[in-house]
Amino acid sequence: MITALGGFVLIVAYFIPATQGWGEVAAIWFDILAAIAFVLGGGNLIKIHLKKVSDRRAGWAYSLITVFAFLLTLFVGLGKIGVNPNPMYPDFLTSGSYREIGSPFWWLYEYAFKPLTATMFAMLAFYIASAAFRAFRAKNIEAILLLGTAFIILLGRTFAGVYLTSWLPDSLSGLRIENMTISIMSVLNTAGNRAIMIGIALGIASTSLKVLLGVDRSYLGTGEE
Amino acid sequence: MYEFFKNLDKRWIFLLMFLSVSIPIYIIGKTGKTFPETPTLLSKAVFNAIDELEEGDPILLSFDFDPASEGELGPMATAFVRHCCEKKLKIYFMALWPVGPQMVDDVIARVIYSDFPDLVYGEDYMSLGFKPGNEGVIKVIVTDLRELYTTDDNGTAIDVIPMMKGIHSVQDFELVVNVSAGYAGTKEWVQYAVTPFKDRIKLVAGCTGVQAPLLYPYIPEQLPGLLGAIKGAAEYEKLVNDKYGGDNPDPKYLEAKRRMGPQLVAHILIILLIIIANIVFFVGKRREARS
């Protein structure tokens, strides 16, 4: 009922300007729920990892570290531990910014969260190189086309593309690697992506209607968990 | 040789990748020499969208990324803020990602505190901070920003901040600039801000390499300009440096260009690995056929 009401209000608000305010109210509710979802997410994280620790399942020590890191960050962040009061409100101890330089929360972000997430993302380069070596084979025409496109894009996104084909005369500038990269991205990629996006949009519209009309209730779960 | 490549231990590949990235970083750091960049039409469109604004025009910068993609998006965020400061625009920061405010803090310290110390918080620039809700946030603030943002990032009431006078929704900004690493990001800004208010909201963006192909369908109607990954950042950086950099720009304003060096060698390594793997594949097939 709530889902159907929220969904139809947003649809009506989009098409009828006089009801735009209803849409705004629904969107604000959505934002409030999104904020509450953080609490739900945190609770869920603790529940899952504590269960893993208590069951002594494989990798339980990582779960223990996760729970410890979560609670520590939550404690120093919410409690604004080590934060000086805002000069405008010196009487209120917690009026300062939780991101204040030198505070424990800032320290955790700067020396734990930041390097860890950057490292995880940077490791992709190693795995991409390894995967390219093991999986990219010119087995058929489609694979050859994909391989050729990949080479053009890889070269075209660097100075190598310019360097390798800069000798081509202006009349053949379309064959320069950097220009071929632009053509592939703006013509072939755009056409393919638009087709996929239109397909997805039609799929979303039909699925959304099923949800709003109560035909599909799978998002509510089976109730057996 | 064939057997070596056929059973190549992936640790050799990891080592080669490490060297192909670290050696150019070292050489570029030591010599300061980088590869030249030629800006494309999309980068020029982003540059022109900001450069055509008048002094004092309000511009909204939404930093929707985190430290994971800082290596790719940090330099363009720096270039965006520097360009806005050089143009003397009123800069409003916001974030749809929880650690977006930290990205804003970094760039404010890197650009405004060090090179534009005369700019005053609340008069020339301000940060609205992070709000949860992803596209839900965009959906509300396109019509009523104050409904969601009653205070700025420091907890100061919006109504007492001088530069918030006259700003009631995203439609009041001359331009929205989005630096995006995924969801929620440029796609959501296009769908929930630009599409319903096409005549009143203009958006340009910078995004990660994996996102760029997905955003091309929105060009040029809904998204007039797009900086794709570090290459787009390097092109934009060049345009900003050419106009505002002088003869010897600060190294922090050449960061994207410097990062193009490791990217070049890493791309060439990947191409070589694919070629070698295919040679091994075809030689293996021929041997199988013979036997």
DSSP alpha helices (H): ranges in B9-115? 10-31, 41-51, 70-86, 100-107, 114-115
Give the tokens for residue B177.
């600039």
B14-71 pLDDT, tens digit per residue, is 999 999 999 999 999 888 888 888 899 999 999 999 999 999 999 999 999 999 999 9
In angstroms, the CA A205 to CA A200 distance is 9
A interface mutation test: which of B221, B270, B275 has the most A CBs within 10 A?
A: B270
Residue of chain B whose Cα is closest to the Cα of A32: B133
Full strand arrangement of the beta sheet holding B225-228: B125-130, B90-95, B58-64, B175-180, B203-207, B225-228
Closest CA to B204 of B37, B38, B52, B36: B52
Q: Which residues pair with B40 in a beta bridge?
A: none
CB B126 within 8 A of CB B94: no
Residue B281's CB is within 10 A of a number of other CB atoms, namely 16
Q: Is B120 exposed, middle or buried (0-12, 13-18, 19+ CB in 10 A)?
A: exposed
Tell me phi and psi for residue B209, to 5 degrees. Answer: -60, -40
Residue of chain A whose Cα is closest to the Cα of B41: A182
Q: Which residues of chain B have a CB within 8 Å of the CB of A133?
A: 8, 10, 13, 273-274, 276-277
> Shortest Cα distance from B229 to chain A (angstroms)?
9
A interface mutation test: which of B41, B73, B140, B265 has the most A CBs within 10 A?
A: B140
pTM across the whole model: 0.90
Give the tokens for residue A60.
């339980």
Nearest to B140 among A27, A86, A154 (CB): A27
In angstroms, the CA A120 to CA B285 distance is 37
A interface mutation test: which of B65, B110, B271 has the most A CBs within 10 A?
A: B271
Q: Which residues pair with B45 in a beta bridge?
A: none
ipTM of the complex: 0.85
Q: Which residues of chain A have a CB within 8 Å of the CB of B17?
A: 125-126, 129
CB B129 within 8 A of CB B94: yes
Q: Which residues of chain A have a CB within 8 Å of the CB of B18?
A: 126
pLDDT in tens, chain A (225 residues): 888 888 888 889 888 888 888 888 888 888 888 889 999 999 999 999 999 999 999 999 999 999 999 999 999 999 998 888 888 888 888 888 888 888 999 999 999 999 999 999 999 999 999 999 988 898 899 999 999 999 999 999 888 888 899 889 988 888 999 899 999 999 999 999 999 999 999 999 999 999 888 888 888 776 555
- For B150-158, the CB contacts below 8 A with 24+ separation are B152/B122, B152/B126, B152/B127, B152/B128, B153/A97, B153/B93, B153/B101, B153/B104, B153/B126, B153/B127, B153/B128, B153/B129, B154/A86, B154/A97, B154/B127, B155/A86, B155/A95, B155/A97, B156/A88, B156/B122
Nearest to B140 among A31, A99, A138 (CB): A31
Question: B209 and A34: CB-CB below 8 Å?
Answer: no
